[in-house]
Amino acid sequence: MASHSSTNPFISIQTVVYQSGQTAVTWVLDPDLDDPGPFSFYLEVALMDAPNEEDYVRINPNDPAHQMGLIMDDTIRRYSFDNKAVYRVVLETPKAIYASDPEKPNGSLPSHLLKIYREILRKERLRINPKMGGTSGTLFQRRTFGTKCTEAVDKNTGQVIDYNNDDCFGTEYIGGYFAGIDYPMLYDSAESYSAEITQMGTQEPHTVSARAIVYPFPSSKDVWYEYSTGRAFYISKVVVTSKFSAKPLSLKIEMNMAAPTDIIYDFIDLQI
């Protein structure tokens, strides 16, 4: 039976309240956490600045998230708008129960800046909305914890040596990637086609640059799948292009299209 642990495997937790009233909560987990799965993530909220354990209310008691990424609190909370509540993420594994440090709905932003910040985020989301010119797609975040894919990873270096293993899909972990998250992007440059000669022959990388939202926050090696064309892209670079009072507002993402024979399409076929 799992027991409570004083160890905190959460590297970071970020929150933001959208103009619509929804609160998005994202987190990053320590990749060295070696607990066995399955992992269940719960979002909890307390309507005060310095809550005790009994003050927290679990938002998704019957619907835990099972991946890194994002949980949405769809309830419109006046306390969240005033930044007088705190959120935390609780991780339950077969071995232990872990709780992140508490975080205010908009981080440490002072009250007089909250309205401005939410309005900027609203406009950013509107700009990327597919109805306004953005492109619909799904973000598949690469697994950074879980059961190691021993058959595809070098025992000495830990590096992937079999990129076509259909249990881990070119990653170090069984399953390869987490379930997809709806994630539109806005192309901000022409698609680039170029060819280069390498030891493997002539390669024709197809690169794309796009603008994206910061919640959830993608990482290099994550995969983005474009609905309309069925193309998959490996994210190669993520850059924060603008901030408001130290909080990120928008991202520039550079991606390379996966070859038609890439193992990632086998993974996507299992998801859609």
Q: What is the pTM of this model?
A: 0.76
Q: Which amino acid is at 128?
A: I
* Residue-level pLDDT at 70: 78
The structural domains of the chain, ordered by start, are 3-108 (2.60.40.10), 130-142+177-271 (2.40.10)
Radius of gyration of the chain (CA): 20
Nearest one of 199, 191, 254 to 221, comparing CA atoms? 254
pLDDT along the chain (272 residues), means of 10: 69 79 83 83 88 92 82 76 80 92 79 78 88 93 83 82 89 88 88 53 69 86 94 93 82 92 93 84
Give the pLDDT confidence of 2-42 residue by residue, as tens digits: 656 667 889 888 887 776 777 888 888 887 788 888 889 99
Torsion, CA 240, CA 132, CA 230, CA 69, rounded to 10: 40
Average pLDDT, the chain: 84
Helices (H) and strands (E) in the chain, counts: 3, 18
* Residue-level pLDDT at 14: 83
* Residue-level pLDDT at 192: 64
Instruction: Determine the 3-state secondary structure of 24 from DSSP.
Output: strand
The 10 Å CB-count burial string (b at 16+, else e) for 168-186 is bbbbbbbbbbbebbebbbb
Element (H, E) at 125: helix 111-128
